[in-house]
Every structure is written in C-alpha cells, then in structure tokens.
Amino acid sequence: MRKTLIVSLLLILLTSACAAEAALTEEATEPSDPPTSAPVLTESGSEETPIGPVEEAVIKQLAENLGLEEDDITVVGSETTEFGDACLGVTMEGVMCAQVVTPGYIIVLEANGIQYEYHTSEDGSRVQPASLALVWKREGGIAGFCDTLTVFRSGEVFASKCGSQAEGTMGTFATLMTASEAQQFQSWITEFEETQLDASDPRGVADRMVVTVDVFGVGSATPTESEQQDMFNFAQDLYQKLNK
C-alpha cells in the first residue's frame, strides 16, 4: 500500500514538471509580431526620396550639363506644387510669362556637396533650372547695348537682348565652356559670397554704359579686383559665344 502511494506521488510530480516545461517551451517559441516596412534611409539618416520619371529627366539634364555621372547625383527633395505662371516660377530678363497656374514639381538635386534646384511641369516635359549663379547686364553706350546673360548653377546659360533677338538663346556649360573654364566658374560660385559687381561708366558721362554682374555665390569670400575683372571678362565672352 505504501509503495503504491509513493509511486502515484512520483507520477503526479513527473507529470506536473513535464507540463510546466512544455508551457515554458511554447511561450519561448511563440512568434513575435511581423516586422514593419521601415523607410529607406540615406547615409545621413534622412528618408530617401523616391525617383520617378520626372526626377530621372532632371538628373539626366544635370549630368549632361556638368559632365557628371548620373550615379553621383542624389535627389534631396521632390514635392508637388502649383506655380503661378507658365515660366514655372522662374523669371528671367527678356522672357515673358503667361500668368496661368501651372502644376508641377520642385526638385532639389545634390552632387559633390552642391545643391541644384529645378522646377518642372507635371509630366516632366518642361524642366526649368532655378538656382541662379550669375547675371550679367550691359546697357547703353554709343551702340545702345541692351544685353543680359543669365547663368544657372546647374549649367544652363540664357542670353537675351532687346530688339530682334528678344526671345533669347540657350546653351549649356557642356557646349560653351572648356572643362577648365567650367571648373573655374564653379570655384567662384562655391568660394565667393552673394554680391553685386559694378563696372559702369561714371554717372553724367555722355553715352554712359552700365555693366553689372550679380554673383549668387554660396561661399563667404569677397572677390579681389582682379577676380572681379576676370568675372566680367568671363561673362562677356560667354555672351558672345552664345550669340555667334
């Protein structure tokens, strides 16, 4: 009788221990919630902007203008907007803009630490650079000049003059500059601060000619007199190349 009771107690203890072990094992192997889809991050930790056909078109244009590899260009931001005119919100001397609401995108690219802003139409068929680098103007003089050169940081160049060619002419760094000239220009923009240079004749002079250069630099240095003259010569030469 005592043996039977002891055996029964042992069986009960063994059964309880197995049940507890099974419960612990089941609890330990219970699957966790499925992982959520995390956003893709860039090296800086910010979310990577998706690249669609419009962004691809802008990347291609920047690469061709500056002689860059498309893989070296990143999309910093891309957002939809409504521009207040047909010029996609970018006004230039000598260009008339129809005042009509135009849906599109504002896209910011980056290459070699420099950012470039573009405005596009909704379908990407029109791409307008928006990061000014330099504006050169020449007015007056005996010849009655009325010339403007607009240079964008992203490599587009636009020249206009009053009269028969008021519609303007377009070009790019790739077609108008040598590699060393393009490099020199980019170094000016990255080194110098935003400033206006004036090489106009003194006021009161007969047939006075006004010549100015607005430099939209992103640096902090001030150009020397020699460097200022180099920029005036550069702008005038570039204007003449575009209007041959």
* 240 within 8 A of 222, measured Cβ to Cβ: no
How far apart CA 219 and CA 188 sit, in angstroms, is 9
Q: Choose the weakest-confidence range: 27-41, 53-67, 208-222.
A: 27-41
For 153-173, how does the pLDDT look when each residue is reduced to its tens digit (9 = 90+)? 999 999 998 765 556 899 999
How far apart CA 74 and CA 239 sit, in angstroms, is 31
Average pLDDT, the chain: 83
Q: Which CA distances in Å does 210 have to 139, 202, 213?
A: 5, 9, 10
Taking the domains of the chain in order of start, what are their residue ranges? 53-129, 132-242
Q: What predicted TM-score, i.e. pTM, was given to this entire model?
A: 0.78
How far apart CA 142 and CA 186 sit, in angstroms, is 34
How far apart CA 54 and CA 124 sit, in angstroms, is 5
CA nearest neighbour of 150 among 124, 171, 164: 171
CA nearest neighbour of 243 among 174, 145, 147, 173: 147
pLDDT at residue 27, rounded to an integer = 42
Tokens standing for 244? 């041959």
Query: For residue 48, what pLDDT band results from cuts at 50, 70 and 90?
Result: low
How far apart CA 117 and CA 156 sit, in angstroms, is 12
